[in-house]
Chain A
Amino acid sequence: MAAERPRPERFSPPQSDAGAPFWEASRDRRLTLPWCTDCDAPHWYPRGFCPTCLSDAIEWRDAEPEGTVHAVSVQPKPNHPGLADRAPYAVVLVDLVDGVRMMLQCSSAGDPGAIAVGDAVRVGWEALPDGRHLPTAEVTGR
C-alpha cells in the first residue's frame, strides 16, 4: 500500500526589503501601495525607488481595493503543487483604481472561465501560514 503523501503546502512568497511594508500591512488585510512623494504617484511592484524619477522618497499609502480585469487566463494545471486542489483557477491582471496593474488569483466561487476582461474586482485576502495575507481578486460585477 502506498504511503499517503503529506499534503503540499501553498507556496509562501519571500519578502524583500522593498516589499516588507506591503506584507506588514497585509497582516491587517490592508492594501497599501508605494508612492513616490516627488512624483506624487504610486507604482507597482515595490523596488525601493520610483521607476519614473528614480527618487527613493517612497511613502506607503492605503489604496482603494477596487479595480478592473485587464487580462485573464484560466489555469487548468497549477504552477505549484500547493495549488493542485483548487485548479482550474483564473489568474488576472487587475488595473487598480489608483492606477497600477497587479497580478492576482481570482478567489471568486463559480466558473473561472466566466471571468472576462472588464469585470469589476475587489481585492480580498488569503491567509498565509506566517500571519501575512496574499491579495486576491474577487469579481464583484460585470
Chain B
Amino acid sequence: MPDHPLRGAAAIVGVADQADASGQIPGTVPQIEARMIREALADAGLTLADVDGVAINNPVGWAASLELAERLGITPRWTDTTQTGGSSFEIHVQHAAAAIALGLAEVVVVVYAATPRSDFKRGTGGWGSRANTAGVTPNMEWEFPHGLRLPMGAYALAASRHMHEFGTTSEQLAEIAVQTREWATMNPRARLQDPITVDDVLASPMEASPLHKLDCCLVTDGAGAVVLTSMERARDLARPPVAVLGAGVGHTHSMISQMPDLTTTGGAISGRDAFAIAGLGPTDVDVVELYDSFTITVLLALEDLGFCPKGEGGPFVADGPLRPGGALPANTNGGGLAYTHPGQYGMFLLVEAVRQLRGEGGPRQVPGAEVAVAHGSGGVLSAMATVVLGTEATL
C-alpha cells in the first residue's frame, strides 16, 4: 500500500445534483447553488455552520468564491476559484483533499450551477456566447478569424488526426454515443432516453467533420454540489464515506492549435499521478465517469488513462465495454451526451461516481463497485484532472 499523504486523507461525504428530462431546471443560478449546497450538506448530515471552505469556478461576477460565501452568510478560512472549464471540479477536489490533509480546512463545499438552456429561451444568450465577447486574446487574433466553430471544431481536429494516425473510424466513435445512451435509458432525469444505433449517429447532421450531432454533448441546465471532509470525521456522518484515493492534473494548451500532440491529452499526466497516489491501476477500476463533451473526448481518455494502449481506443470501444454489463462500465448516468451538460460537466462525474460507490445507482448500479474514476476535461482538450475514489474497503 503506498504511503502518499493524500491517499484516503479526505472523503466525499455528501452529494447532490439536479437535471431534468426537459433540459431546464427552475430558479436563478444563486438560488440553485444554494439548493445544491443545502441538499449535499443534508446528504452528509452536516449544516452550513460546519462549512469552512468553499470552491466554485462560475465565471460570473468578479470573485466567485467571495460572492458565494457572502450570499451564504459564511466566513470560510479556505477558498478556491480555480477555473479550468469542465475539469475545474476534479481540481477543486484535489485542492480540497490536500487542504483537509494539511488541516487548512475541515468541511469543504464544491458547487456548480448553470442554466444555458433557460438563458437561451429567455433570449439572454446561451452557452458559447462568451466566445464572442472576449477582448484581444490570442484566440481572437490567431484562431477565431479562420472560422473554426468552438468547441466542436477543436475536438474535430483531434478526431481527424486520430483517424489519420490510427485508422479510427466514425463508426467506432459512434459506439461511444450508443453505449452511453444505453445507460441513459435507465435514468429518468436524462434529457435523451431513447436508445440509438451507430447508423443513427452517422445519419445525424455533421457539426464539424468528422463529428456528427450525436457525437456532441447536450446543452442543458444543470447543477450539483459535493461536500468533503477528513476521513476521520467522515466515519461519523450520515453516509458511507467515499475516499479520495488519488488525484492528478495535467494541462497541455489553451488553444487547440497549440496542443502539442492532438492525439494525447493531459490525461496521460493526470491519470498517471492519480493512479500512483492511489496505488492502483486501470485494471482495478470498477466504474469510470469520463468527461464526454464529445465521443472523441472519451476515446482519448480511455487511451491516456491506460484502459487501452494509445491508438487502440477505436477497436477497444467497438467491443462494447462501456455499456451496462460491459467490462468497463462508463458514464453510468447517461453522461454529457445524454444526461445533462450545462457547459462544465465535471461536477456530474463526481456525483455519479460517489453514488455508484455507495450502491445508490438503482437500476444502473454497477454491482459491487469499489473503485471509481472521475476524469474531467476542460477547455478544448486543454486541462485534464483525474480523481480516483474508493469505498472504505479500499483503504
B206 at the interface (CB under 8 A from A): yes
Chain A 80-100 residues near chain B, CB threshold 8 A: 80, 83, 89, 91, 93
B144 pairs with A11, CB closer than 8 A: yes
Residues 1-41 of chain A: 1 if any B CB is under 8 Å from the residue's CB, otherwise 0?
Answer: 00000000001111110010000000000000000000000
B150 within 8 A of A: yes
Query: How distant is the Cα of A87 from the Cα of B89 in the complex, in angstroms?
Result: 37
Are A45 and B147 CB-contacts (below 8 A) given A75-B208, A101-B257, A113-B209? no
- Which residue from chain A places its CB closest to the CB of B132 in the assembled complex? A80
Please state if A14 and B140 are interface contacts (CB–CB under 8 Å).
Answer: yes
Cα-based distance from A36 to B246 in the complex (angstroms): 40
Q: Is A73 in contact with B161, judged by CB distance below 8 angstroms?
A: no
**Shortest CB–CB separation between residue A73 and chain B, in angstroms?**
4
B157 is an interface residue with CB less than 8 A from chain A: yes
Query: Which listed residue (A75, A80, A117) contacts B164, Cβ 8 A?
Result: A117
Task: Please state if B136 and A16 are interface contacts (CB–CB under 8 Å).
Answer: yes
**Closest B residue to A73 using CB positions:** B156
Chain A: which residue is nearest B158 at the CB level? A71
In terms of DSSP, what is the predominant structure of the interface of chain B? Answer: helix
Check A131 for interface membership: any CB of B closer than 8 A.
no
Q: Is B153 an interface residue (CB 8 A)?
A: yes
B145 in contact with A11 (CB, 8 Å): yes
Judge whether B136 and A14 touch: CB under 8 Å.
yes
Instruction: Tell which of B149, B158, B211, B257 touches A103, judged by Cβ atoms closer than 8 Å.
Output: B257
Is B122 among interface residues, defined by CB-CB distance under 8 A?
no
Nearest B-chain residue to A105, judged by Cβ = B146
**Size bin of chain A's contact surface:** 20 to 34
Name A77's closest neighbour in chain B (CB-CB): B149
> With a CB–CB cut-off of 8 A, which chain B residues contact A78?
147, 149
| B132 contact set on A, CB distance < 8 A | 80
Q: Are A79 and B150 in contact (CB under 8 A)?
A: yes
Q: How far is the CA of A89 from the CA of B256 in the complex (A)?
A: 18
Give the distance to chain B from A72, nearest Cβ to Cβ, in Å: 5
Q: How far is the CA of A113 from the CA of B170 in the complex (A)?
A: 15
* Chain B 134-160 interface mask (CB, 8 Å, partner A; 1/0): 011010111111111110010011101
CA distance A116 to B164 in the complex (A): 9
The reply on A65 being an interface residue by CB < 8 A is no
1/0 per position for A49-89, CB-CB distance to B under 8 A? 00000000000000000000011111111111001000001
Chain A residue nearest to B161 (CB atoms) is: A71
Out of A73, A105, A117, which one reaches B208, CB within 8 Å?
A73
Partner of B206, one of A12, A14, A74, A102: A74
Given contacts A14-B136, A80-B144, 10 further A-B contacts (CB under 8 A): A13-B142, A14-B135, A15-B141, A47-B138, A73-B208, A73-B210, A76-B206, A79-B149, A116-B164, A117-B164
Q: List 23 A-B contacts (CB under 8 A).
A: A13-B142, A14-B140, A16-B138, A19-B142, A45-B138, A45-B258, A70-B161, A70-B262, A71-B157, A72-B160, A73-B148, A73-B157, A73-B160, A73-B208, A77-B149, A78-B149, A79-B144, A80-B144, A93-B256, A93-B257, A102-B257, A105-B146, A117-B160
